[in-house]
Amino acid sequence: MCGRAGVMVGAVMCVACALGHVLPPPPSSHAHNNRLQAERHHLDDPHYVFRSELDLPADLQARLQEDHHDPEVTGGFFQGDMAGLTPETVVMNTRVALKWEAFPEKRWPNATVPYSISSLYGQNEQQMIRTAITTLQFLTCINFVEWDGKVEDYLLFWPMKRPRGCWSYVGRRGGMQVVSLQAPDHRSLRCFASLGKPIHELLHALGIFHEQARPDRDQHVTILTENIITEYLGNFRKQSGQNTTFPLPYDYSSVMHYGSNFFSYTKSVPTIVPKVPGVEIGQRIMLSKLDCLKLNDLYGCLEDPTDRLKYITFCNFLGISQLSS
């Protein structure tokens, strides 16, 4: 599968370059330094993130940092990596979801997303972020543009020290909006273990929730509550069907699906098991075919007949199909 994934990602990059559908060159180091100072100022605001690992008791903070936990859960946010949401403060049938009719302000206008990448990242990490952005830009009609320092709403890729891990807000928040990707350290590659990690957080920022939180998830997976750290049982609640929309079937191969042992007491026991034997969940290689179609549908990329044919073809050819163990 790794070899196939490499071919798919390589194909995206090669075709994108051939069509000239690539991102602009990174800004000068001088411009980055100026932005760095301004962005630090806003990130020091204690109200920027509503609830995270910093609000948890010390013993729970320590448990999240155990090596078997994925960096998508170590931030301690709602469902692990969705900032600004908590089970205690969000009524499930009114929380932000995929239905723009209910939450139009969460959609990025004109399918255009300004972004900035912190110079605190090394060259390899910056390149992986840009590859993730280019991948989404090629496979959909969403246009990512380098932040010009003037537009009010934009994504900022920043390696937050605390709360650490991989996390993002869901949909457009307004103003500077952090997508935090923890940089590699001596213990692991963290949020840069694979291309699917930054892609996962980008899909949150574009308005997509976790696949296993769908209202119909109990038809497809079994949640083993006895294996979940008690304090994190709320992360396995389903979202309401009232303000969400899922025109596509349940997707075990989604890059937005929990892994089998997320929030587990130990890596040796699962917390979520597919009802289809032998199916793998939690891949972070690439968008699945259905992820790709879902994102295109969400931003109206399939409305024009010519674009519809193009993007459906891209999704079917480059998206990951169901994985089996």
pTM of the model: 0.84
Question: What is the pLDDT, as a whole number, of residue 283?
Answer: 97
Would you call 171 exposed, middle or buried from its count of C-beta atoms within 10 A (0-12, 13-18, 19+)? buried
Q: Which of 17-26, 104-113, 185-194 has the lowest mean pLDDT?
A: 17-26
The full set of domain ranges for the chain reads 2-318
Question: What is the pLDDT, as a whole number, of residue 125?
Answer: 98
Does the annotation flag 210 for ligand binding?
yes
184-218, pLDDT tens digit by residue?
A: 998 899 999 999 999 999 999 999 989 998 888 99
Question: Dihedral angle at the C-alpha atoms of 164, 2, 295, 151, nearest 10 degrees?
Answer: 50
Does the annotation flag 42 for ligand binding?
no
Per-chain mean pLDDT for the chain? 82
Question: What is the pLDDT, as a whole number, of residue 187?
Answer: 86
Residue bearing tokens 């793998």? 280
Terminal Cα-to-Cα distance of the chain (whole angstroms): 10
220-257, pLDDT tens digit by residue?
A: 999 999 999 988 888 898 876 665 555 688 999 999 99
Known active-site residue 226: no
Share of residues in the chain with pLDDT > 70 (%):
74
Question: What is the pLDDT, as a whole number, of residue 63?
Answer: 72
CA angle at 295 for the pair 270 and 256, rounded to the nearest 5° = 10
CATH number for 2-318: choose from 3.40.640.10, 3.20.20.120, 3.40.50.970, 3.40.390.10: 3.40.390.10
Question: What is the pLDDT, as a whole number, of residue 94?
Answer: 35
CA angle at 214 for the pair 178 and 319, rounded to the nearest 5° = 70
Question: What is the pLDDT, as a whole number, of residue 6?
Answer: 57
276-310, pLDDT tens digit by residue?
A: 999 999 999 999 999 999 999 999 999 999 999 99
Q: Which of 201, 211, 280, 303 is catalytic?
A: 201
